[in-house]
Amino acid sequence: MNQDLPPQTLPDWDLYRALREQWTHEDNLVNHRLMWLILSEGLLFTAYGTLTTAKLHWLVFGFPMFGMAVAGVIGVSIYAALDATDEIARQYEQAGLMRLCNLTPTKQVGNRGRWAPLALPFVFGALWVLAMAGAFGS
């Protein structure tokens, strides 16, 4: 692809491939970050479960705080990648490339594929709030 041409003057298929490559990259980032979230939270919950029986009170309160921080930081990075896909979709539509090929799923599918990455950071955060409430209660 010629680097000197602005995106508006690229041939349609070259622009399509460039935007599709960016879309794929951001989608892979969402996937990797979601996996980081699930794996890290799973390890943290496992460690937290062993700590609650060990009577290490400061760690019983520290782990939920750390778990919420991990969910928050990874959640922000997931939202950033999803925002980037929205921007790519906007550029795609603005360039009129829908006449070549759809970049996104059909209207019947909608955005249901985004529900997990959008919700899971909040789900894990809420679970840590419940864990902390349980620690205060005991």
Does pTM top 0.85 for this prediction? no
The tens digit of pLDDT for each residue in 45-91 reads 998 888 877 777 778 888 899 999 999 999 999 999 999 999 998 99
pLDDT band at 137 (very low <50, low <70, confident <90, very high): confident
Map 47-77 to HEC letters. Answer: HHHHHHHHCCHHHHHHHHHHHHHHHHHHHHH
| Contact by Cβ (8 Å): 41, 70 | yes
CA dist 10 and 97 (Å) reads 12
| Contact by Cβ (8 Å): 15, 2 | no
Please report the pLDDT score of residue 43 as a whole number: 95
Please report the pLDDT score of residue 1 as a whole number: 47
CA dist 138 and 128 (Å) reads 15
Average pLDDT over the chain reads 86
Please report the pLDDT score of residue 102 as a whole number: 74
